[in-house]
A and B are shown apart, each in its own frame.
Chain A
Amino acid sequence: MEKQGLLGGQLDVVFDEIYCGEKTYEMAERRLLSAAVDVMLKKGNLKASDVDCYVGSDLINQLGTAHYFMKHMEQSFFGVYAACSASTVSSALCGILIEGGFAQKACAFASSHNATAERQFRYPNEYGIQKPDTTTFTVTGAGAICFSNQKSKIRLASATIGKVIDFGFKNVNDMGSAMAPAAFDTIMTHFKNTDTSFDDYDLVITGDLSKVGHSVLFDLFRSKGIETDAKLSDCGLLVYNLNEQPVFSGGSGCACSMIATIASIFPKMIKGEFKRVLVAATGALLSPVMVQQKDSIPCISHCVVYERTDL
């Protein structure tokens, strides 16, 4: 699915089937993650031990993918759970580690698999239930970014760690709408803290609000009189071809913002199309148990700013 999507050509490794040659979906997700980290190390000409600390996240209970993967790496590791906002929170943590002098190189990774997420948060994969159009489709993929204290073309300039926002929204089939206010809050806080606005960025991209949530966020900005100048976008709209693929409202999951950042935003930054990009990955921090107890969906959004160092 991801291969046939809009990012198809830019992905480093693709598998032709959902099991990725493994026995279970969980092992398939681990395979994706190890492929992503391998590519990252290879591109940076690094050994696994060159990276001082790894920060990773996924959607499985107990961060199953990240932890079972890291047992082979024998390196320091922070497992963080932040639902689908994983990509930016782990990147921000890497930034903090390096800025504080605690590490020279740190790696942020995130993975998600449609089948493992479906079974954990929704229904069995083959269960025949009619899904509403507001549903999002979990991206099957993984990505890894290496940060270092040496100068390179792109740098992580700033980050804002989000607050948990819950306005009592309960529809688990419309995560986009649930997360939009969290994205709004974090982006506005970031603008305020750094004294910037949409004018200062070439692109402000949210994680996985998808079609519905993206429109809601757009309206929230407009209701405050803020013009987005066509600079507001969403990673959930970048991964798949929404008109041709059966993905409902668009992509979601930890991998969504991660692979969109690596396969779409970074290449454009290296080409010089973008100089400064704000990525605000969004996460719905719901627990299936709490939702069944009629509780609402708390959401969070963390944002990081990537900028070209030389332009």
Chain B
Amino acid sequence: MDINQIEHAIKQHAPSKAKGVNLVMAFVWGGGIGLAGQLILEGYMSLFNLSFQQAAACTSMTFIAFASLLTGLGAYDWLAQHAGAGLFIPITGFSNALTSCALEAKSEGLIYGIGSNMFKLAGSVLTYGIVTAYVLGIIRMVIGL
């Protein structure tokens, strides 16, 4: 069998990627989350008399809790199929990665299940987040000298 022939056939039948639709959906969902975040932030600041930093942390927590809840209810993966990067990139994606892994490992118990598997997907975000922060911190310190 000719490999070129196979590859040609595969290329021909690859479904056209709906890049345009994905872009628009990601923009709408990502933008929507940003807008909702801003409103919640302003709301927390004026309703509970919080400082900007306190309110910002509370806003993140709100999204984390909400995404986690939706994951548990089984609605998140359906939404994510449509929203794509719009839900994946904001903190909702991180929350979903943790919750979905924890849910999946529930049947193996608290220690070997949830405990060791919860960071299976989100682990690399944390590892490289911390490493990057460390490296950039040193660079900043050196430049600041």
**Interface residues, chain A, with chain B CB atoms under 8 Å away:** 23-26, 119, 123-134, 167-169, 174, 177, 180-181, 184-185, 212, 215-216, 219-220, 223, 246, 249
Does the CB pair B88–A129 fall under 8 Å? Answer: yes
Q: Which residues of A contact B81 (CB under 8 A)?
A: 128, 130-131, 246
With both beta carbons as reference points, the residue of chain B lying nearest to A185 in the complex is identified as B1
> CA A26 – CA B108 in complex, angstroms?
11
Q: Does B59 contact A (CB under 8 A)?
A: no
Does the CB pair B96–A133 fall under 8 Å? Answer: no
Residues 13-52 of B contacting A (Cβ, < 8 Å): 13-15, 17, 22
Chain A at the B interface: mostly helix, strand, loop or mixed? loop
Q: Chain B nearest CB: distance from A120 CB in Å?
A: 11
Residues 66-98 of B contacting A (Cβ, < 8 Å): 71-72, 74, 76-77, 79-81, 84-85, 87-88, 93, 96-97
A128 interface neighbour in B10, B79, B104, B120, Cβ under 8 Å? B79
11 contacts between A and B (CB under 8 A): A124-B120, A126-B99, A127-B96, A130-B85, A132-B17, A177-B10, A181-B6, A212-B15, A215-B9, A216-B10, A219-B12
Does the CB pair B88–A216 fall under 8 Å? Answer: no
Q: Does B107 contact A (CB under 8 A)?
A: yes
With A128-B100, A133-B15 as contacts: A220 and B88 at CB distance below 8 Å:
no
> CA A223 – CA B8 in complex, angstroms?
11
Does the CB pair A126–B100 fall under 8 Å? Answer: yes
> CA A246 – CA B104 in complex, angstroms?
22
Q: Which residues of B contact A132 (CB under 8 A)?
A: 15, 17
State how many residues of chain B have any CB contact under 8 Å with chain A.
35
List the 7 closest pairs (A to B, CB-CB), nearest first: A128-B80, A124-B104, A126-B100, A219-B9, A124-B100, A127-B100, A133-B15
> CA A126 – CA B55 in complex, angstroms?
29
**Interface residues, chain B, with chain A CB atoms under 8 Å away:** 1, 3, 5-6, 9-10, 12-15, 17, 22, 71-72, 74, 76-77, 79-81, 84-85, 87-88, 93, 96-97, 99-101, 103-104, 107, 120-121
User: What is the number of contacts between chain A and chain B, taking CB atoms within 8 Å?
Assistant: 98
Q: Which residues of A contact B88 (CB under 8 A)?
A: 128-130
With A212-B15, A216-B6, A223-B9 as contacts: A128 and B96 at CB distance below 8 Å:
yes
Does the CB pair A126–B121 fall under 8 Å? Answer: no
Does the CB pair A127–B15 fall under 8 Å? Answer: no
Q: Which residues of A contact B103 (CB under 8 A)?
A: 124-126
Does the CB pair B9–A130 fall under 8 Å? Answer: no
With both beta carbons as reference points, the residue of chain B lying nearest to A130 in the complex is identified as B84
Q: Which residues of B contact A131 (CB under 8 A)?
A: 81
Q: Chain B nearest CB: distance from A123 CB in Å?
A: 7
With both beta carbons as reference points, the residue of chain A lying nearest to B22 in the complex is identified as A130
> CA A219 – CA B7 in complex, angstroms?
11
> CA A215 – CA B6 in complex, angstroms?
11
Does the CB pair A125–B77 fall under 8 Å? Answer: yes
Q: Which residues of A contact B17 (CB under 8 A)?
A: 132-133
